[in-house]
Each structure stands twice: as C-alpha cells, then as structure tokens.
C-alpha cells in the first residue's frame, strides 16, 4: 500500500508543482518532493519559466532563443530516454532530428512537447490532456513510437545509435526556424 502511495506521489508531485507555480499558489522559492526514493527540489522560478515559454507575443529574437533552449532540452531528453528504454534512433538520423525539432517547437508554442507526428483538432487541448506529450502513453506502456523517434531493436528502421548531438539535430532539420 505504501509503495502504491509513493508511486502516485512521484507521478503527481511534479505536475502539481507546475500547476501551483503557474497559478501563483506556491509560497516558497523551492519545494521538495520524493522521486525514485530520492528527495528532489524544484525551483519554482524554473517551473514558471517553462510555462512562460508558450507566450505568443515573443519577438523573433526571443523565439529563436527559446527554440535553441527547447531544441537542446529535447535533444538531451531524447538521448537519455533512448538510453533508459533500450531503444534506438532511426538509421537515417534526419528522422529523429525532425521529430526532435517538432517536439521543441511544440514546447515553445504550447509549453509541452506534444507529439509532432499526429493531427490534432485542438493542439492546446491535447497538450493539456497529456496523452500525446512525449513520451506518449503508447511509448511508455508498449514501446510504440508513432514518430519513429524511439525504435526497438527488432524494428527494420532501427539504427545502432542512441545518441544524436544538438549540432546534428540542428544541421539535419535546417536550424531553428519553421
């Protein structure tokens, strides 16, 4: 019973902290929660800045800075996730590069890394729902990646690499702009 409660706390705490910080309910600059049996500290200002990135009134320079930051973050996330799940990138590295760029664009526009390979009637509603936010539920539950970003080794398109550099992503997808 305690381990079930711990799992729920581990899943919910970061989500609640982001909601609380955005809505102005957090009163401390840092809040701690338990994650993987370790105490973690969240800087509330970092939570707020992640959500502020979806500001539609960005200048071109601000958008470029936000895109670079998001592209670096999504590249780093993808490399770590591929390693942790034992999945691989596509043999043609332009595929993961374009998907990572799409995740970064959604992170900047929507505040969440919504899967870029699907059609949505309402992207903002889908991003809030969370089902298709990377890693999406099918990926987490069954290692099924619609985007072909994370491939199991039995996939015919899987390469041998679990790492792509920020420079490779930038070069293969044509930089930061749309």
- Rounded Cα gap, residues 162 and 144, in angstroms: 16
Q: What share of the chain is helix, strand, coil (3-state, %, to 5)?
A: 55, 10, 35
Q: What is the mean pLDDT of the chain?
A: 76
| Coil/strand/helix, residue 90 | strand
Give the model confidence (pLDDT) of 66-80 as tens digits: 999 999 999 999 999
Q: Measured between alpha carbons, how far is 23 from 161 in angstroms, rounded to an integer?
A: 41
Instruction: Give residue 111's region: left, alpha or beta (phi > 0; psi -120 to 50).
Output: left
pTM for this model (two decimals):
0.68
117 in catalytic set: yes
From the number of C-beta atoms within 10 Å of its C-beta (0-12, 13-18, 19+), residue 14 rates as middle
Residue with the two structure tokens 């960005």 = 58
pLDDT tens-digit series, residues 93-120 = 999 999 999 999 999 999 999 999 999 9
- pLDDT at res. 58: 84
pLDDT at residue 104 in the model: 96
DSSP bridge partners of 42: 31
Exactly one of 47, 90, 117, 136 is catalytic; name it: 117
Judge whether 133 and 106 are in contact, CB under 8 Å. Answer: no
Confidence of residue 85 (pLDDT cuts 50, 70, 90): very high
59 C-beta neighbours (distance < 10 Å), count: 8
* Cα–Cα distance for residue pair 28/136, rounded to 1 Å: 31
């Amino acid at each position: 019973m305690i381990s079930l409660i711990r799992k729920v706390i581990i899943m919910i705490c970061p989500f609640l902290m982001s909601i609380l910080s955005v809505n102005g309910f957090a009163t401390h600059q840092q809040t701690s929660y338990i994650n993987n049996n370790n105490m973690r500290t969240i800087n509330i200002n970092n939570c707020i800045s992640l959500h502020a990135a979806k500001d539609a009134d960005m200048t071109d320079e601000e958008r470029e800075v936000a895109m670079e930051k998001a592209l670096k973050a999504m590249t780093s996330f993808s490399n770590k996730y591929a390693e942790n799940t034992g999945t691989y990138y596509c043999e043609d590295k332009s595929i993961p590069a374009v998907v990572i760029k799409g995740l970064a664009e959604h992170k900047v526009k929507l505040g969440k890394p919504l899967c870029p390979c699907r059609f949505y009637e309402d992207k903002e509603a889908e991003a809030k729902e969370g089902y298709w936010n990377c890693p999406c539920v099918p990926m987490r539950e069954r290692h099924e990646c619609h985007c072909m970003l994370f491939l199991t080794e039995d996939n015919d398109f899987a390469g041998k690499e679990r790492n792509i550099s920020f420079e490779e992503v930038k070069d293969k997808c044509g930089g930061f702009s749309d």
